[in-house]
Each structure stands twice: as C-alpha cells, then as structure tokens.
Amino acid sequence: MLIRVASVSELPEEGNAREFAVGDKIFCIANIHGEYRALDNMCPHRGGALGQGVVDGRLIVCPWHGWQIDTENGRAMQDRELGVRVYEVKIEGDEVLISDDQAG
C-alpha cells in the first residue's frame, strides 16, 4: 500500500532531512545525494526527532544525543541491535509516496 506523504516541492534539499506527518504517524525523509530515504521519525535511543537532525553522508544524526542512524537500513551506529523502520520512497508526478509494505 502506498501512502501520500508530501508534494515534490516540499522535499528537503540535498544533505537535509525533514519531518512529514501523516495522520498520527511522523516520517523522516532525508535527501542523500539526491536520493530520498524515508524512515520512522523517532530515534530508538531516546525518541528524538530524526527529521530535525543533521545529515552526515548516508547517516542522520539525532539532534538530542547525537545517535547516528543509517538511512539505508535504519540501524543505529551506536547499537546495531536498535533501529528504525525504513520505507521505500516513490515519486509519481508531483506526489511523494512511501510504501508501507514492510509494516506489520
């Protein structure tokens, strides 16, 4: 199932991340070298908002305590047992969609 998250004009510029609320869920979308990656927004360490963090290469650095989350697989660099869900991003026309096929 695809979920509409935003329009293309709302996406973050390269090297930045942004939060997007859909219903009661908040997603983080990061622009990693022109490729968009979507993740759950809540850092697994203490719940910081990843969409307010800093992009460092392919990582998002949580603004609360500096935990680094790999945007490719959602794993925390400080503890590889912890992580967030990663979603596939699709752009159709002006619509930004994420696939929740991994949800469950």
Whether 104 is covered by a domain: the verdict is no
Q: Is the pLDDT of residue 41 over 50?
A: yes
Q: Is the pLDDT of residue 104 over 70?
A: no
Query: What's the burial of 80, exposed, middle or buried (CB within 10 Å: 0-12/13-18/19+)?
Result: exposed
Q: How many domains does the chain have?
A: 1
Q: Which residues constitute the domain of residue 82? A: 2-99
Q: What is the mean pLDDT of the chain?
A: 95
Query: What's the burial of 23, exposed, middle or buried (CB within 10 Å: 0-12/13-18/19+)?
Result: exposed
pLDDT value, residue 103: 45
- For residue 53, name the pLDDT band (cuts at 50, 70, 90): very high
Write the CA distances from 23 to 31, 51, 92, integer angstroms.
23, 17, 21
